[in-house]
Amino acid sequence: MTILVLGSSGQLARHLRNVLPGAKFCGRDTLDLGEPAAVAAKIEAMRPSAIVNAAAYTAVDAAEAEPTVAARVNAESVAAAARAATALDVPFVHVSTDYVFDGLKGSGYTPQDATNPQSVYGATKLAGELAARALCKKCSILRVSWVFSEHGANFLTTMLRLAATRDELRVVADQRGRPTYAGDLAAVIAALLRRADDPKPLPYGTYHAVGGPSVSRREFADRIVEQAFELGLIAKRVPVRAVTTAEYPTPARRPANGALEPSVELEQVLGIAMDWQKGLTAALTALRA
């Protein structure tokens, strides 16, 4: 019996390889979430001891033009995986997003707050959440925000690439959130699975896997540039200019306030203290190495 991870090459999957060494990782070539009709049967045939969904359609803007494709991956295949978990009677860990909220709340969002997605991406991720809860009693949903790491294409690596070639960065300052380091998220998932058979496990439910202060995207970018310069990853400390969302229009609407309130249970029960600031240092240090 092994843990099955849906996703094999994304930034979360790459960190999960370090903390779940015996897991089976399934990429698109093995289990295509774009074909939900086949997902449940393929998972059941593998007979895993737990299922982790680390894959998603994450092209937020492209989803506006491809709602059917996004729905297949983010909702229909999640439902199929949840059904398989129920048939096998195993835990199912699903990763979701702050985009399930509209971003209009004046303070951080809790797992109990009403959802109201404003984009196709957010709507399909919410549909995946609803399906997972309805179809699998052993389901844990971890909402994250602005996931970054030293691997792949993400906000951190994009800022570093631009800072190496430009004299100034322009980053929106009227969108706020709590970033999630993929390494921290992987540690939470591993701890969650280890405690599944514990006499006092973390109850199944929805949690916000974030930690550290709320920041704007511009503040996050400025912190990246500052630390990267100090570590010698970029030649100069490029100024980060604040712009508004209106000055940087995109097809999909982003939550103005996507700050998730951290779920204290993750630290109290699992012993994982998430902090994006420490995660940023870890990611930049890994890149320097």
Q: Determine the average pLDDT of the residues in 208-229.
A: 98
In the CATH hierarchy, which fold is given to the domain comprising 3-150+180-211+261-274?
Answer: Rossmann fold (3.40.50)
pLDDT band per the 50, 70, 90 thresholds, residue 201: confident
Q: Per the residue annotation, which of 57, 99, 121, 207 is the catalytic one? A: 121
The secondary structure of 77-118 as a DSSP string is: HHHHHHHHHHHHT--EEEEEEGGGS-S--SSPBPTTSPP---
Q: Determine the average pLDDT of the residues in 93-103.
A: 98
Residue type (1 letter), 165:
T
Please tell me the distance from the alpha carbon of residue 49 to that of residue 177, in angstroms, as a whole number: 34
**pLDDT, position 220:** 98
pLDDT band per the 50, 70, 90 thresholds, residue 54: very high
pLDDT tens per residue across span 79-89: 999 999 999 99
Query: Is position 121 annotated as part of the catalytic site?
Result: yes
Q: For strand 215-216 and strand 240-243, is the pairing parallel, antiparallel, or unpaired? A: unpaired
Q: Residue count of the chain, please give it.
A: 289
Please tell me the distance from the alpha carbon of residue 75 to that of residue 79, in angstroms, as a whole number: 6
Mean pLDDT is lowest, of 39-53, 142-156, 183-197, for: 183-197
Q: Which two tokens stand for residue 189?
A: 């998932």
Residue type (1 letter), 113:
D
